[in-house]
Structure 1
Amino acid sequence: MLRALTRPVVYLVERWLPGPLILAIILTIIAAIAALTMTDTTPGELVMGWGEGLTGLLAFMTQVCLVLLLGYTLANTRPVHRLLTGIASVPRTPVAAYGFVTVVAGLASLISFGLGLVVGGVMAIEVARAAKERGMKLHYPLLVASGYSGFVIWHMGYSGSGPLNAATEGGAYTDLPGGLVDITRTTFSWWNITAAIVTLAVVTIAMMMLAPKKDEEIVTAPGRVFDRPGDGGDEARAGDSGLGDRAEGDAPAAVAGRTKRTPAEWVEGFRGFTTILGVFLGIYLVMYFGSNGFNLTLDIVNWTLLCLVLLLVGNARELAKLVAEGGHTVSEVLLQYPLYAGLIGMMGASGLTVIISEFFIDISTPGTLGFFAFLAAGLLNMFIPSGGGQFEVMAPLFAAPADALGVQQEVVIMAIAYGDQWTNMIQPFWAIPLLAVAGIKVREILGYTTVTLVLSGIVLGATMLLVGAG
């Protein structure tokens, strides 16, 4: 039945959904029309808000690009490739493969959202490769959708920007009613942990149930997915030749039989230099965690990935080669994130965000405030897909009504977090990095992630109602 319900959605999405770039432009136009008709903002003020907002995510964009590039590079170093190949061989049936990718991506997302995106894409590729070697056919769009579906619980985990913001001095809750809210009341509350487990279980079962039957069409992974980065350059990987990366103009020396490397070639192929830098960075990370505890930030995630890359890569030449090959994972991010930053600026300058939030506040009761905050956050996430940015906007709007209605602040904090992660399943902003790794288009997975949206929405919405009633 689930497959039957999904089929028309998949058809409509594949036929009518434009690419992420066009969708970002369409959302900008919709927000502009809404702002001009629902607020007293002038066209000039709207354009200024949009233009000044374009640079708002540049630092964050750089962090995300590094997560993707370093994650891709790490996954394709020889030791990690062998590990991933072994893990990817665990599922022995197509149904198990879809569930396996969902669970692995979900657990990684609970640690760090950036890690979850990279792992989701990489595991989809590695499981597809392992399945091909075993002669097992997998529906690749569903496999990638499974990896992205695991991302639906990221804001309930350790890197959840909303709860972390509410617990941090200088964050949104510093001057709000009740003051700072410790993460033991939000992220590590029993009801949030339970909701995360139930949500991941429900989504995993759904992805397994969507597995095509033998008589249904199966779209296998594109050929480029099976092209291992660095193929044909093993001499550079091993650092035992130094001639692997030479241009055609250097061929005469090779033809002449020169096998002795020049000093420059020896330096580039010597593993010790990358290892020394990796050890140096590792010492810094040990000192950081010793002083700050297990406090993960995007920067620390990036330096951890870089440390592992430096320690595991064969030499500097291999590192440069893998980074160059991984450049495709960040190209769309570099173009589209500024557009969403401009959209955020437009929403803030016009006051449209406040209007939407106040509508849901006005119809709320003590028992339903959390639920309506969840819906409001889900709607706003379509236009402000940055979890931290959205929380900064919404938290001050819902904190005062929560205090007046006697609702615990942790309820609205997690409601905003839940709404933000929920509609990511149909908002391609966060799918862009994962799809860049996996090598397919958003329209190929959105029919399946719409199922994730519906089922996770039921669990998350019910959680807010139950907690609100308690």
Structure 2
Amino acid sequence: MLSSGNQIQAQTILEEAESMKMKESSVSDKVNNSPVIQYIIGLMGLAYIIYYFSTKGLDINLNIMIFIFIIIGLFLHQTPIRYGIVMKRSSSNISAILFQFPFYAGIMGIMIYTGLGNELTKWMVSVGTIDSFPLLAYLNGAIVNFAIPSAGGEFAIVGPSIINAVIELGAGLPELEVTKMIARASLAIAFGETLTNSLQPFYLLLIIPIMGIGLKIRARDVMGYLFIPFIIFFIATALMVLFVPL
């Protein structure tokens, strides 16, 4: 909505999408305003819907209904920026969560059921030693956080593999020492997850709708200011997981 004096002029979704374009050309802005990725995801979703009903019949449940509505929305609104605007108009402050959580859940499902999360963990810890495993667990937590920005969900995927790797690395050591190694690895994963929250500020989905009421501010307007804290936090926590005693 645009306010001019005592008159209120309603913008169309297309007009609002055009007003949100950045003056400088950027890859993210082009993707936000392009139908290509949205249609690709929509076609993938449509293929799954066809597969679902062809294999399970008319097994209607809440999950498949939500999925169908999401896919229909992708086709109807053509670009990510327009879909985001529609979600915001219909669900206000919780729109970002409603919009992104289904996709995060999908990514988490891919990481779990394809074994991708376990393979990434195994690859990273295969070169680990008793001295370097905390740093590898830390980096693992940081990388996987880009795909699963949920500490609990992330640990459910990478935690068991890293703990098993630590047990193997600590074979022959006293049980108390192995327990300390597991605790350090678990904390390292958590610190890694927190680290990349600076580059993927998931928490802004909750903060901006509350603190930014009345302001035309989005997460991308804030992210650039988080890069220097990211570097400082990376160095500090990397040293901590390696050298600070439990």
Provide TM-score, normalisation by structure 1. Answer: 0.31
**Contact 2:111–2:157, Cα closer than 8 Å, also in 1:** no
Q: Within the alignment, does 1:454 sit opposite 2:231 as a pair? A: yes
* Amino acid of the structure 1 residue aligned with 2:190: A
Question: 1:16 offset after TM fit, Å?
Answer: 3.0
Question: 1:405 offset after TM fit, Å?
Answer: 2.1
- The answer for unaligned runs of 5 or more in structure 2 is 1-23, 41-46, 53-61, 67-90, 171-177
CA distance in 2, matches of 1:369, 1:333: 34
CA distance in 1, matches of 2:205, 2:25: 19
CA distance in 2, matches of 1:355, 1:405: 17
CA distance in 2, matches of 1:375, 1:387: 14
CA distance in 2, matches of 1:359, 1:449: 29
Q: Within the alignment, does 1:431 sit opposite 2:204 as a pair? A: yes
Report the counterpart of residue 94 of structure 2 in structure 1: 330
Report the counterpart of residue 402 of structure 1 in structure 2: 166
- CA offsets per residue over residues 213-252 of structure 1, 9 Å max, x none? xxxxxxxxxxxxxxxxxxxxxxxxxxxxxxxxxxxxxxxx
Runs of 4+ in structure 1 deviating by more than 4 angstroms, as ranges, are: none
Question: 1:453 offset after TM fit, Å?
Answer: 1.2
Q: Within the alignment, does 1:377 sit opposite 2:153 as a pair? A: no
Question: 1:339 offset after TM fit, Å?
Answer: 1.1
Question: 1:464 offset after TM fit, Å?
Answer: 1.3
CA distance in 1, matches of 2:198, 2:130: 28
Output aligned runs, 1:251-400, within 5 Å: 328-400=92-164
Cα distance change on mapping 1:454 and 1:356 into 2, 3 Å: same
Output aligned runs, 1:20-39, within 5 Å: none
Question: 1:334 offset after TM fit, Å?
Answer: 1.2
Provide TM-score, normalisation by structure 2. Answer: 0.58
**Contact 1:18–1:443, Cα closer than 8 Å, also in 2:** no
Question: 1:404 offset after TM fit, Å?
Answer: 2.3
RCO higher in 1 or 2 (8 Å CA, sep ≥ 6)?
1
Question: 1:429 offset after TM fit, Å?
Answer: 2.9
Question: 1:17 offset after TM fit, Å?
Answer: 6.2
Question: 1:419 offset after TM fit, Å?
Answer: 0.8
Cα distance change on mapping 1:339 and 1:442 into 2, 3 Å: same
Question: 1:448 offset after TM fit, Å?
Answer: 0.9
CA distance in 1, matches of 2:128, 2:26: 36
Q: 1:18 aligns with which of 21, 28, 34?
A: 28
For the pair shown, the structure with the greater C-alpha radius of gyration is 1
CA distance in 1, matches of 2:111, 2:160: 16
**Contact 1:374–1:416, Cα closer than 8 Å, also in 2:** yes
Question: 1:467 offset after TM fit, Å?
Answer: 4.1
Identity rate of aligned residues, in percent?
29
CA distance in 2, matches of 1:427, 1:15: 21
**Contact 1:411–1:467, Cα closer than 8 Å, also in 2:** no
**Contact 2:129–2:169, Cα closer than 8 Å, also in 1:** yes
SS of the equivalent of 1:424 reads: coil
**Contact 2:142–2:196, Cα closer than 8 Å, also in 1:** yes
CA distance in 2, matches of 1:401, 1:457: 24
Question: 1:465 offset after TM fit, Å?
Answer: 1.4
* Amino acid of the structure 1 residue aligned with 2:122: E
CA distance in 2, matches of 1:395, 1:433: 27
**Contact 2:204–2:219, Cα closer than 8 Å, also in 1:** yes
Output aligned runs, 1:61-210, within 5 Å: none
Cα distance change on mapping 1:390 and 1:396 into 2, 3 Å: same
Question: 1:459 offset after TM fit, Å?
Answer: 0.7
Question: 1:329 offset after TM fit, Å?
Answer: 2.1
* Amino acid of the structure 2 residue aligned with 1:465: L
Aligned length: 163
Question: 1:438 offset after TM fit, Å?
Answer: 2.9
Q: 1:418 aligns with which of 179, 191, 197?
A: 191
SS of the equivalent of 1:330 reads: helix
- CA offsets per residue over residues 135-191 of structure 1, 9 Å max, x none? xxxxxxxxxxxxxxxxxxxxxxxxxxxxxxxxxxxxxxxxxxxxxxxxxxxxxxxxx
Report the counterpart of residue 79 of structure 2 in structure 1: none
Aligned-residue Cα RMSD (Å) equals: 3.3
Question: 1:428 offset after TM fit, Å?
Answer: 3.9
- The answer for unaligned runs of 5 or more in structure 1 is 1-13, 30-42, 49-53, 59-326
* Amino acid of the structure 2 residue aligned with 1:445: V
Cα distance change on mapping 1:15 and 1:449 into 2, 3 Å: farther
**Contact 1:422–1:457, Cα closer than 8 Å, also in 2:** yes
* Amino acid of the structure 2 residue aligned with 1:350: T
